[in-house]
Amino acid sequence: MTGEFQIVGAEPEAAGSMPRIQARAVRAMTEGVYGAAVLEEWASSLTGPHLVGLTERMRAGTEAALLAATKDEGIVGFGSLIPASSRLRTFYVDPAFSGRGAGSAILLALVEKARGLGLTHLSLGSSLNAVALYQRHGFAIDREGSYVLPSGASMRCVYMTKLIAGRN
Protein backbone atom coordinates (compact mmCIF):
# COMPACT_ATOMS: atom_id res chain seq x y z
CA MET A 1 0.00 0.00 0.00
CA THR A 2 1.36 3.43 -0.96
CA GLY A 3 -0.63 6.11 0.83
CA GLU A 4 -4.25 5.48 -0.06
CA PHE A 5 -3.26 3.49 -3.16
CA GLN A 6 -2.35 -0.14 -3.45
CA ILE A 7 0.07 -0.86 -6.30
CA VAL A 8 -0.35 -4.33 -7.76
CA GLY A 9 0.79 -6.22 -10.82
CA ALA A 10 -1.84 -6.11 -13.54
CA GLU A 11 -3.25 -9.34 -14.80
CA PRO A 12 -4.16 -9.39 -18.52
CA GLU A 13 -7.85 -9.46 -17.58
CA ALA A 14 -7.45 -6.01 -16.00
CA ALA A 15 -6.53 -4.48 -19.36
CA GLY A 16 -10.22 -3.96 -20.10
CA SER A 17 -10.40 -1.14 -17.52
CA MET A 18 -7.39 0.69 -18.96
CA PRO A 19 -9.03 2.38 -22.00
CA ARG A 20 -11.53 4.24 -19.79
CA ILE A 21 -8.75 5.59 -17.57
CA GLN A 22 -6.59 6.54 -20.56
CA ALA A 23 -9.45 8.35 -22.30
CA ARG A 24 -10.40 10.32 -19.17
CA ALA A 25 -6.77 11.25 -18.49
CA VAL A 26 -6.01 12.33 -22.03
CA ARG A 27 -9.14 14.44 -22.37
CA ALA A 28 -8.79 16.13 -18.98
CA MET A 29 -5.04 16.54 -18.56
CA THR A 30 -4.04 17.59 -22.06
CA GLU A 31 -6.88 19.92 -23.03
CA GLY A 32 -5.35 23.07 -24.48
CA VAL A 33 -1.99 21.34 -25.02
CA TYR A 34 -2.95 19.43 -28.17
CA GLY A 35 -5.61 19.98 -30.84
CA ALA A 36 -9.03 18.36 -30.62
CA ALA A 37 -8.42 15.80 -33.41
CA VAL A 38 -5.15 14.62 -31.85
CA LEU A 39 -6.77 14.41 -28.41
CA GLU A 40 -9.68 12.34 -29.67
CA GLU A 41 -7.48 9.89 -31.58
CA TRP A 42 -5.08 9.56 -28.65
CA ALA A 43 -7.92 9.18 -26.12
CA SER A 44 -9.37 6.25 -28.04
CA SER A 45 -6.08 4.63 -29.07
CA LEU A 46 -6.09 1.87 -26.44
CA THR A 47 -9.00 -0.01 -28.00
CA GLY A 48 -9.46 -2.80 -30.52
CA PRO A 49 -6.18 -4.21 -31.79
CA HIS A 50 -4.09 -2.01 -29.47
CA LEU A 51 -5.88 -3.37 -26.39
CA VAL A 52 -5.58 -6.93 -27.71
CA GLY A 53 -1.85 -6.32 -28.30
CA LEU A 54 -1.36 -5.04 -24.76
CA THR A 55 -3.21 -8.03 -23.34
CA GLU A 56 -1.13 -10.44 -25.43
CA ARG A 57 2.14 -8.75 -24.41
CA MET A 58 1.10 -8.96 -20.76
CA ARG A 59 0.27 -12.68 -21.13
CA ALA A 60 3.60 -13.32 -22.89
CA GLY A 61 5.51 -11.40 -20.24
CA THR A 62 6.99 -8.95 -22.75
CA GLU A 63 5.14 -6.02 -21.17
CA ALA A 64 4.76 -5.62 -17.41
CA ALA A 65 1.88 -3.51 -16.15
CA LEU A 66 1.09 -2.16 -12.69
CA LEU A 67 -2.16 -0.76 -11.38
CA ALA A 68 -2.99 1.74 -8.66
CA ALA A 69 -6.20 0.88 -6.89
CA THR A 70 -8.16 2.08 -3.90
CA LYS A 71 -10.40 0.05 -1.67
CA ASP A 72 -13.51 2.02 -2.68
CA GLU A 73 -12.94 3.16 -6.30
CA GLY A 74 -11.03 0.21 -7.75
CA ILE A 75 -8.44 0.86 -10.47
CA VAL A 76 -7.52 4.55 -10.69
CA GLY A 77 -4.34 4.42 -12.78
CA PHE A 78 -1.89 2.19 -14.57
CA GLY A 79 1.50 2.09 -16.18
CA SER A 80 3.50 -0.43 -18.14
CA LEU A 81 7.05 -1.05 -19.21
CA ILE A 82 8.70 -3.12 -21.90
CA PRO A 83 11.81 -4.66 -20.30
CA ALA A 84 13.47 -5.69 -23.59
CA SER A 85 13.76 -2.04 -24.65
CA SER A 86 14.00 -0.48 -21.15
CA ARG A 87 10.97 1.59 -22.08
CA LEU A 88 8.13 2.94 -20.01
CA ARG A 89 5.29 2.49 -22.48
CA THR A 90 2.02 3.64 -20.90
CA PHE A 91 1.21 5.72 -17.84
CA TYR A 92 -2.20 7.19 -17.05
CA VAL A 93 -4.10 8.26 -13.93
CA ASP A 94 -7.79 9.00 -13.72
CA PRO A 95 -8.02 12.81 -13.45
CA ALA A 96 -10.23 12.49 -10.35
CA PHE A 97 -7.07 11.25 -8.60
CA SER A 98 -4.64 13.78 -10.05
CA GLY A 99 -2.49 15.40 -7.40
CA ARG A 100 -3.23 12.71 -4.81
CA GLY A 101 -0.11 10.61 -5.30
CA ALA A 102 -1.41 7.84 -7.55
CA GLY A 103 0.84 8.83 -10.45
CA SER A 104 3.93 9.08 -8.29
CA ALA A 105 3.14 5.75 -6.66
CA ILE A 106 2.78 4.01 -10.02
CA LEU A 107 5.90 5.64 -11.44
CA LEU A 108 8.04 4.74 -8.41
CA ALA A 109 6.74 1.17 -8.53
CA LEU A 110 7.53 0.90 -12.25
CA VAL A 111 11.09 2.11 -11.59
CA GLU A 112 11.47 -0.48 -8.83
CA LYS A 113 10.02 -3.18 -11.11
CA ALA A 114 12.53 -2.22 -13.83
CA ARG A 115 15.38 -2.29 -11.30
CA GLY A 116 14.24 -5.71 -10.11
CA LEU A 117 14.40 -6.93 -13.71
CA GLY A 118 18.02 -5.77 -13.90
CA LEU A 119 17.43 -2.73 -16.12
CA THR A 120 19.91 0.13 -15.79
CA HIS A 121 17.76 2.87 -17.29
CA LEU A 122 14.22 3.65 -18.40
CA SER A 123 13.30 5.74 -21.42
CA LEU A 124 9.96 7.20 -22.44
CA GLY A 125 8.19 9.59 -24.74
CA SER A 126 6.27 12.10 -22.62
CA SER A 127 3.30 14.21 -23.56
CA LEU A 128 4.06 17.89 -23.02
CA ASN A 129 1.83 18.12 -19.95
CA ALA A 130 3.62 15.27 -18.11
CA VAL A 131 7.24 16.41 -18.47
CA ALA A 132 7.33 18.10 -15.03
CA LEU A 133 6.07 14.92 -13.29
CA TYR A 134 8.82 12.84 -14.88
CA GLN A 135 11.45 15.46 -14.06
CA ARG A 136 10.37 15.46 -10.39
CA HIS A 137 11.13 11.74 -10.43
CA GLY A 138 14.58 12.06 -11.93
CA PHE A 139 13.94 11.70 -15.65
CA ALA A 140 16.09 13.97 -17.83
CA ILE A 141 15.13 15.41 -21.19
CA ASP A 142 17.00 13.83 -24.09
CA ARG A 143 15.29 15.72 -26.90
CA GLU A 144 12.01 17.07 -28.17
CA GLY A 145 10.28 15.20 -30.94
CA SER A 146 6.93 13.97 -32.13
CA TYR A 147 4.85 10.85 -31.91
CA VAL A 148 2.97 9.78 -35.02
CA LEU A 149 -0.55 8.52 -34.40
CA PRO A 150 -2.06 5.75 -36.57
CA SER A 151 -3.91 8.35 -38.70
CA GLY A 152 -0.58 9.96 -39.58
CA ALA A 153 -1.24 13.00 -37.36
CA SER A 154 1.65 13.88 -35.14
CA MET A 155 1.78 15.20 -31.60
CA ARG A 156 4.72 16.90 -29.97
CA CYS A 157 6.44 14.95 -27.22
CA VAL A 158 9.60 14.98 -25.14
CA TYR A 159 11.89 11.96 -25.01
CA MET A 160 13.34 11.37 -21.54
CA THR A 161 15.60 8.90 -19.71
CA LYS A 162 16.31 7.99 -16.11
CA LEU A 163 19.32 6.01 -14.92
CA ILE A 164 18.05 3.45 -12.40
CA ALA A 165 21.06 1.24 -11.66
CA GLY A 166 21.29 2.60 -8.09
CA ARG A 167 18.60 3.79 -5.71
CA ASN A 168 16.29 6.78 -6.39
pTM of full prediction above 0.95: no
Phi first, then psi, for residue 114 (nearest 5°) are -60, -45
CA distances from 9 to 6, 33, 109, 162 (A): 10, 31, 10, 22
pLDDT, position 3: 58
Q: How far apart are CA 158 and CA 4, in angstroms?
A: 30
pLDDT, position 1: 43
Which residues in the chain come in under a pLDDT of 70?
A: 1-3, 166-168
pLDDT, position 132: 93
Q: How far apart are CA 119 and CA 115, in angstroms?
A: 5
What pLDDT digit, counting tens, does each position of 97-136 carry? Answer: 888 888 899 999 999 999 999 999 999 999 999 999 999 9
pLDDT, position 53: 86
**What domains sit in the chain, N to C, each tagged with a CATH number?**
6-163 (3.40.630.30)
Cβ(155)–Cβ(147) below 8 Å:
yes
